Amino acid sequence: MKLYNPILLSFLTIVLSNFPTALYNPAYSQKSASDTILSNGLRIGFDLGRIANFYMKNQKNFSLEGSADIGYQRWLGVAELGYANIKSSKDQVYDYNSNGIYGRVGVERNLLKGGDDVVFWGLRYGISQMNYSYGYYNVIDTIWGGTSGSIPKTSATQHWGELVGGIKGLVWKNFYLGFTLRFRFKISGSYNADLGPIIVPGYGAADKSTAFGANYYISYRIPFKKPATFPKKKKVKKDKKAAPVLPAAPPKK
């Protein structure tokens, strides 16, 4: 188990502890007295898990990822960009190096009505452009015989889709903590060598048609304007016409 897992568990505890207040806040009620329109704003964030990897001892891999989203009402347009440098080796089997960039674009739908916190689901389209090389490789095959060699720097491209879900919780003055869970499925891939890449930046194992992943973000929102609420129009009750007042009968003599 990686050493930064306890840090990420603590991070999730902090995020989730903030949500009971939001969920029981009248502002989030579907029966609210007003129709709330979420303020437009730009949210910029970084993946904490990638940053934690940078400080781990004996860590051969290096990666960074940033994200940005812009909201209108309960919809969010999202863009994510990352870089990865990957080194992997197995004694007498292979020595592998790669680096590349990747990006994702998509949309998210906020399941909460009103307020600043976000519980969402959404879709992504991802693409990775990378270079990789094998210092050496040995393919062992007891039936057809093995092969060995090396592959100089070559390029590869992969496309994939994602189904995502997660939360973005406001913790302090436009600062957010949150996570995104991802189910990835490969669309297509190409490379110009006899042996393909081992790991695709932003996706995962190159030989898998599907993959799961998660990101843990800290982000800051730049609001364009304050949330605006538009009270529902109250129906004006028409006064019923008063009944005519009849003159009093004259007193009997």
User: Could you tell me the CATH number of the domain that includes residue 160?
Assistant: 2.40.160.20
Residue 149 lies in a domain: yes
171 inside domain: yes
Residue 68 lies in a domain: yes
Is residue 235 included in any domain, yes or no? no
The mean per-residue pLDDT over the stretch 72-92 comes to 89
Whole-number pLDDT of residue 65: 93
* Residue-level length of the chain: 253
Band the pLDDT of 117: cuts 50, 70, 90. confident
* CA dihedral angle for residue 143, residue 149, residue 151, residue 157, rounded to 10 degrees: 10
In a domain, 73, yes or no: yes
What's the pLDDT score for residue 31?
41
The tokens 């009968």 sit on which residue? 249
In-domain check, residue 159: yes
Does 168 fall in a domain? yes
| Of 66-80, 84-98, 138-152, 200-214, minimum mean pLDDT range | 138-152
**Domain encompassing residue 80:** 5-28+36-228
Residue 3 has pLDDT above 50, yes or no: no
In whole angstroms, what is the distance from residue 219 CA to residue 111 CA?
Answer: 19
Strands 199-200 and 210-223: unpaired
Q: Is residue 236 part of a domain?
A: no
- The number of domains in the chain is 1
The overall pTM is greater than 0.85? no
**Strand bridging mode 175-191 / 118-139:** unpaired
Query: What pLDDT sits at residue 121?
Result: 95
How many Å from the N-terminal Cα to the C-terminal Cα in the chain? 109
pLDDT greater than 80 at residue 193: no
Amino acid at 178: G
Whether residue 92 contacts residue 100, with contact meaning beta carbons closer than 8 Å, is answered with no
